[in-house]
Amino acid sequence: MPNTIHVTPRCPIRTTMELVGGKWRLLIVVQLLDKPLRLSELKALIPDVSEKMLVQELRFLVDSGLVERVAHTRTPPKVEYSLTPQGRRLLPLIEEMRKFAEGYTNNHATKP
């Protein structure tokens, strides 16, 4: 039997869920894997999210150190979001989640 995980305020599972849990955070992170993006580009890639929620989640990800917000000083102003090195550490987690979902979907697709 695997070790029991005790959920406490310092529990690593709880910490991870607080950082990337919810409906939008990991979807935002996935979009930022390849290149920095502007808010409008993120909104186009995740059309179901409202702009208000996208801004809120980006602010959280920036405050948590997973995403960097860069304001370029030019006319018109340009703001881009990109993953920090800490944010890039989510890649193995995202990859394992993808594998799990594919296996889960394949196993349940054949059942009535």
Give me the pLDDT at residue 96, please: 94
Q: How far apart are the C-alpha atoms of 61 and 87, rounded to whole Å?
A: 9
Spans of all domains in the chain: 12-109
Which CATH class, in words, describes the domain spanning 12-109? mainly alpha
Asked if residue 30 lies in contact with residue 94, where contact means CB atoms within 8 angstroms, the answer is: yes
Give me the pLDDT at residue 48, please: 96
Residue by residue, pLDDT tens for the chain (112 residues) are 456 655 566 788 888 888 898 899 999 999 999 999 999 999 999 999 999 999 999 999 999 999 999 998 888 889 999 999 999 999 999 999 999 999 888 887 655 5
Where does 1-112 show beta strands of DSSP type E? 67-72, 78-83
Residue 82, H or E segment: strand 78-83
pTM of the model: 0.83
30: its two tokens: 């996935």
Q: How far apart are the C-alpha atoms of 37 and 52, rounded to whole Å?
A: 17
Q: How far apart are the C-alpha atoms of 109 and 62, rounded to whole Å?
A: 38
